[in-house]
Amino acid sequence: MKRFALAGNPNSGKTTLFNNLTGSTAHVGNWPGVTVDKREGTYKKLAEPIAIVDLPGIYSLSPYTPEEVISRNYILDEKPDCVINIVDATNLERNLYLTTQIMEIDVPMVIALNMIDEVEKAGDKIDAAALEEKIGVPVVKISALKGKGIDELMRRAYECSRSPRLGKTVLEGGKLMHLIGDCRIALEGAGVDNALFHAIKLAELDELEVKQHPQSAKMVEEFKKTFKDDTFGSDFEAIVADSRYKYISHNYSSALTKNKRSAREKLSSSDKADKILTHKIWGIPIFLVILFAVFHLTFSENFLWIGAALPEGWVSGEGTAFEGVFGDGGINSIGVILFNLLDLATSSISDAIAGAMSAGGVADWATGLVVDGIFGGLFAVLSFLPQILLLFLFFSILEDSGYMARVAFILDRIFRRFGLSGRAFMPMIMGFGCSVPAMVNTRTLADESERIATIRVIPFFSCGAKLPILTAIAGGIVQMTGLGNADIITYSMYVLGIVVAIAAVLIMRSTTMRGEVPPFIMELPAYRAPQFRSLMMLLWDKLKHFVKKAFTIILASTIVIWFISHFSFNWKFLPDSEMNDSILAGIGMLVRPLFTPLGFGSQLNDWGWVFVVAAVTGLIAKENVIATFGTLAACITSGFVADEALEGVDAVAEMISATGIGIPALIAFIAFNMLTIPCFAAVATAKAEMPDKKRFNYTLVFWVVTSYLVASMIYLIGEWWWTSFIWVAVWAAAITLIVLYNKGKLKNLKLPKINFKKRA
Ligand code: GDP
């Protein structure tokens, strides 16, 4: 099968084109660096099927980051039948820089002038035919988004793929051509493929190239000594780059006719927005407010208080089947309303099933297995689906609009103090969705130590699967104690994760993971209205992924949990009330002393082992934590709720009432689950992204230690805050005294001098 590769600058629309060509639903983002690994699909509308390979976005073929190496090596070594060079036509000159480099490789190529819709909307014109004549490869205008010009592009690419093309360079006639020519002859003599391309990279003294062809590199060094040009000294890389840009602006730029007025207007409206959103002082507070609004819309009960002005019972819908769904007093946020609606549906399903089974005289254990074991666990997790999806939707809107790239920009200044570049912000934000793609995305970071430090803290950015833990426990706390507000607890836990991540990075970057922070070069993408279709596709993907996980891993785990919690070590079936004699309880009791410093160990009563077991099952998938509660809490008859399948919050409330666990221990429980070793999938990804085994092992230790320390600190301070307060005060006083004493400020205090006498 023929293979066509898509190559282009980050954010030029490669993923959109790829999806369009292959019917795939890969994630499109208005953010440079969304595709960090190559992806394959098939285009079927030509005489024969064509494999389409989407390469990571790159600005040039002199790679610094791992993703850039992937793209360069693919084009050079795998020799695709055609390279489709996708060019963002709204940014022609900069995008053609890469084009001039691909041209130098002996590979058929076509140029796709993408985003032509935007160019036309702005009233600009591009003469594709003129450009085609000058560059010497086919140029096709397309709009990947609107699906325009795609068939024409593929037709021409197919045509090209049938005859080989020899590389040519725009450096012809330049100062270095003599050197490049010599290198080329030497390389050709040595039988090297793509001699022209390699000769140019050698002339630039490209690191990879020098390693591969040390012999020819010596020649360049010799030549360099004879080269005394004032403009650049002997920085050949700069000379080459300069020649490319000059060539582009002299020869290619005339193909573009700008509509002067519209260009100025467009610039100013986006500039105006940037003036506010990336403001030195206001940028960050604005970001925090937006973030809080997102959480408020997703998690808050009594989102709006106007309900109070309405006649009593209007909002709460007293007496109807929807009582309390839309609010009680105030109006609930969208997230809570959706949550309540789903809750209504799932509880009527499980009630109906439980009713039918007991009416049909089904054995108790079978009813228990179905209602608690299967539905209890599943519903406990599924009930959070609306809020997870909503949070995703909001984040995607922020990302697609181009705002997240601005946030990276404003955070760069702060990140730098922690030893990170603004680029690290993207993987971190992605971590709120799922650690797996987030860890892969760290490939956009050039410094290896920065990359590893970032991978280590990504799980602290609480992912979608951990959301049920946060929400259910926060909800449980509010329900049981009437204290606080669920969305503030949830929000603070997210903030805790971020703070721990920052502290951890700071410590790592100043001790074991030192390294230079490379300068932050990321162009700000244009503000764009998020595409409805692309957002819906993303949500659909998430939904599928979540439901699939619920009906496989989580279902299997809850059934296993139910079985081992209802059988004793000598395989006797145990009714709910004797669950404390079960295999699971036995194991839980055995390990629970380990969790005593965290507040959910030996100090809890008989049922306390459920917390320990839940935390351990979370290592398989984080949703399991709440699924385990759902399965087990229904069996505990503390009298808080009737014996039925429980949704997440009720399950936690039940556990709180059965064990009498306190708020500090509950918060410690969330913190432990949030910061400890992430799920299997994330651990496997971290391992794959860290070729050095020792570093990976340290990473596991790091997760365990951090979660244990932070959780126990929360518990200890929360439970004995008065004692802790005194301790801290005493220590602070002691340290202050020592510091002052050392500075000699207390000299006149006449402290006794301590003499050490030698023993005779
Ligand atoms: P990649 O980083 O190169 O994979 O780029 P994406 O495919 O993620 O696209 C980046 C942004 O450009 C997204 O917001 C797309 O919706 C948008 N985009 C892509 N192609 C077009 C197009 O033809 N016209 C317009 N107006 N926007 C586009």
pLDDT digits (tens, 9 = 90+) for 456-482: 999 999 988 898 899 899 989 988 888
- Does 113 lie in the same domain as 208? no
Regarding the beta carbon of 302 and ligand 1, being less than 6 Å apart is answered no
To the nearest whole number, what is the mean pLDDT of the chain?
A: 84
Give the Cβ contact number of residue 724 at 10 Å.
14
Last residue of a domain, one of 209, 236, 257: 257
Residue 343: phi and psi, rounded to 5, are: -55, -45
- Does 182 lie in the same domain as 133? no
Round to whole Å and give the CA distance between 83 and 346: 51
- Does 215 lie in the same domain as 128? no
Query: What's the CA-to-centroid distance between 750 and ligand 1, angstroms?
Result: 74
Q: Are 143 and 149 in contact (CB under 8 A)?
A: yes
- Pick from 28, 126, 441 the residue to mutate for probing ligand 1's pocket: most ligand atoms within 8 Å of its CB: 28
For the chain, what is the largest distance between any 2 Cα atoms, rounded to a whole number of angstroms? 101
513 belongs to a structural domain? no
- Does 199 lie in the same domain as 59? no
DSSP state letters, 183-232: HHHHHHHTT-TTHHHHHHHHHTT-HHHHHH-HHHHHHHHHHHHH--BTTT
Regarding the beta carbon of 528 and ligand 1, being less than 6 Å apart is answered yes
631 belongs to a structural domain? no
- Does 33 lie in the same domain as 149? yes
Query: What's the CA-to-centroid distance between 75 and ligand 1, angstroms?
Result: 22
Give the Cβ contact number of residue 680 at 10 Å.
12
90 belongs to a structural domain? yes
- The number of the ligand 1 atom at minimal distance from the alpha carbon of 31 is 2
Residue recorded with tokens 């197919």: 158
Q: Are 59 and 33 in contact (CB under 8 A)?
A: no
60 belongs to a structural domain? yes
Query: What's the CA-to-centroid distance between 115 and ligand 1, angstroms?
Result: 7
Regarding the beta carbon of 71 and ligand 1, being less than 6 Å apart is answered no
Counting every residue, how long is the chain? 760
How many domains is the chain built from? 2
Give the H or E element holding residue 272: helix 260-277
Regarding the beta carbon of 34 and ligand 1, being less than 6 Å apart is answered yes
Chain centroid to Cα 654, Å, comes to 34
Among 693, 652, 687, which residue's Cα sits nearest to residue 673? 652
The residues that bridge with 54 in the sheet, in sequence order, are 6, 39
Regarding the beta carbon of 121 and ligand 1, being less than 6 Å apart is answered no
As a whole number of Å, the CA-based R_g of the chain is 31
- The number of the ligand 1 atom at minimal distance from the alpha carbon of 33 is 2
Q: Which two tokens stand for residue 735?
A: 């340290």
pTM: 0.69
For the stretch 694-716, what's the b/e string if a residue is b when 16 or more beta carbons lie within 10 angstroms of its beta carbon?
A: ebbeebeebbeebbbebbbebbb
Round to whole Å and give the CA distance between 278 and 284: 8
Burial class (CB within 10 angstroms; exposed 0-12, middle 13-18, buried 19+) of 362: middle
136 belongs to a structural domain? yes
Query: What's the CA-to-centroid distance between 15 and ligand 1, angstroms?
Result: 7
Among 463, 462, 455, 466, which residue's Cα sits nearest to residue 505? 455
- Does 252 lie in the same domain as 205? yes
Last residue of a domain, one of 236, 257, 278: 257
Nearest residue by C-alpha to atom 25 in ligand 1: 115
205 belongs to a structural domain? yes
Residue ranges, the chain, pLDDT below 50: 639-643, 760
CA distances from 127 to 92, 130, 598 (A): 12, 5, 68
Q: Which two tokens stand for residue 486?
A: 């669920």
- As a dihedral over the C-alpha atoms of residue 19, residue 20, residue 22, residue 24, rounded to 10 degrees, the angle is 30
Rounded (10°) angle between helices 609-617 and 583-591? 90
Residue 50: phi and psi, rounded to 5, are: -120, 130
Q: Which two tokens stand for residue 144?
A: 């990947």
150: number of CA atoms within 13 Å, CB side?
21
Residue recorded with tokens 């949550």: 339
- Does 203 lie in the same domain as 129? no
Residue recorded with tokens 């590389």: 167
Q: Is 567 helix (H, G, I), strand (E, B) or coil?
A: strand
- Does 50 lie in the same domain as 122? yes
Range of the domain at 113: 2-160
- Report how far apart the first and last C-alpha atoms of the chain are (Å, whole number): 92
Q: Are 243 and 170 in contact (CB under 8 A)?
A: yes
- Does 112 lie in the same domain as 231? no
Rounded (10°) angle between helices 448-457 and 486-510? 150
Query: What's the CA-to-centroid distance between 17 and ligand 1, angstroms?
Result: 8
Q: Are 631 and 565 in contact (CB under 8 A)?
A: yes
Last residue of a domain, one of 214, 231, 257: 257
741 belongs to a structural domain? no
Query: What's the CA-to-centroid distance between 42 and ligand 1, angstroms?
Result: 20
220 belongs to a structural domain? yes
Residue 54: which CATH number? 3.40.50.300
Regarding the beta carbon of 29 and ligand 1, being less than 6 Å apart is answered yes
Among 169, 167, 174, 175, which residue's Cα sits nearest to residue 192? 167
- Does 149 lie in the same domain as 67? yes
User: Would you give the DSSP letter of residue 754?
Assistant: P
Regarding the beta carbon of 337 and ligand 1, being less than 6 Å apart is answered no
User: Would you give the DSSP letter of residue 433?
Assistant: T
Query: What's the CA-to-centroid distance between 18 and ligand 1, angstroms?
Result: 11
Task: Supply the pLDDT for residue 293.
Answer: 86
- Pick from 6, 11, 16, 523 the residue to mutate for probing ligand 1's pocket: most ligand atoms within 8 Å of its CB: 16
Nearest residue by C-alpha to atom 19 in ligand 1: 13
Angle at the Cα of 162 (from 156 to 167), degrees rounded to 5? 85
CA distances from 102 to 67, 83, 444 (A): 17, 8, 21
Residue 240: which CATH number? 1.10.287.1770
Helix%, strand%, coil% for the chain, nearest 5: 65, 5, 30
Regarding the beta carbon of 57 and ligand 1, being less than 6 Å apart is answered yes
Round to whole Å and give the CA distance between 387 and 366: 32
Nearest residue by C-alpha to atom 22 in ligand 1: 115
- The number of the ligand 1 atom at minimal distance from the alpha carbon of 35 is 4
Q: Is 683 helix (H, G, I), strand (E, B) or coil?
A: helix
Q: Where are the beta strands (DSSP E) in 69-185?
A: 82-88, 109-114, 125-126, 139-141
- The number of the ligand 1 atom at minimal distance from the alpha carbon of 32 is 2
Query: What's the CA-to-centroid distance between 299 and ligand 1, angstroms?
Result: 31
Q: Which long-range contacts (CB under 8 A, 24 or more apart) does 488-497 make?
A: 489/667, 490/295, 490/299, 491/292, 491/295, 491/299, 493/462, 493/667, 493/670, 493/671, 493/674, 494/295, 494/432, 494/462, 494/470, 496/671, 496/674, 496/710, 497/460, 497/461, 497/462, 497/674, 497/675
- Does 194 lie in the same domain as 75? no
Round to whole Å and give the CA distance between 473 and 67: 40
Regarding the beta carbon of 30 and ligand 1, being less than 6 Å apart is answered yes
- Does 112 lie in the same domain as 210? no
- Pick from 6, 9, 11 the residue to mutate for probing ligand 1's pocket: most ligand atoms within 8 Å of its CB: 11
Regarding the beta carbon of 14 and ligand 1, being less than 6 Å apart is answered yes
Round to whole Å and give the CA distance between 351 and 74: 57
Query: What's the CA-to-centroid distance between 243 and ligand 1, angstroms?
Result: 29
- Pick from 145, 397, 403 the residue to mutate for probing ligand 1's pocket: most ligand atoms within 8 Å of its CB: 145
